[in-house]
Amino acid sequence: MAAGVKPAGIVLCGGASTRMGSDKAGLELAGRPLALWVADALSAAGADPVVAQGGSPPPPLVAEPDSSPRAGPLSALIDALERHGDVLVCPTDVPTVPAELLATLVERARSTGAPVVLAHSDRPEPLIGHYARESLSMLRAGLQAGARGPKEAFDIESVPTVPVNPFDVLNVNTPAELAAAEAALAAREAAQPGAG
């Protein structure tokens, strides 16, 4: 990726939300929809434009349709790359991801030219990452071979990663996880200098 080129920010919103029982994009954490937490982080990291891929995100986020709904996140990632070129992606259910970490992904991608993803406990998180248009042929080949996610489409262990702490990638898939994220966010804010 050339210096100065901004990736599009993609909030992945197309999942079925079966464990949550309702569409996660509009669920609120600290009074704000999950999708908007992610959209704001992508924007603050320098992504432009920021859109939702699939699903029914809350306004003002605009949804771009999945070409193959229910085909999985790999298909959604390919759709986003075909529409926008370089993309910075994050699922709607990871609302605590910091903009600074997302910006680090963009910087690393500029220097490597390869996909760059976050890693939690040395485990790559391929749905939180930067992908260049040049990744399309590899991702399409994975999709044609039956892969549903990027982890299955290529050797994820060889992809450059940026380490994160657990709070930065809290995954909110169930009502209990949403409650835990609320508590963790409140605790983090209370620990900030100058808080209450």
Q: What is the mean pLDDT of the chain?
A: 88
Give 112's pLDDT tier (boundaries 50, 70, 90): confident
Q: pLDDT at residue 195 above 70?
A: no
Whether pLDDT at 157 is above 70: yes
State the pLDDT at residue 78. Answer: 96
Q: What percent of the chain has pLDDT over 70?
A: 93
Domains of the chain, start order: 8-191 (3.90.550.10)
CA separation, residue 95 to residues 71, 73, 142 (Å): 23, 17, 28
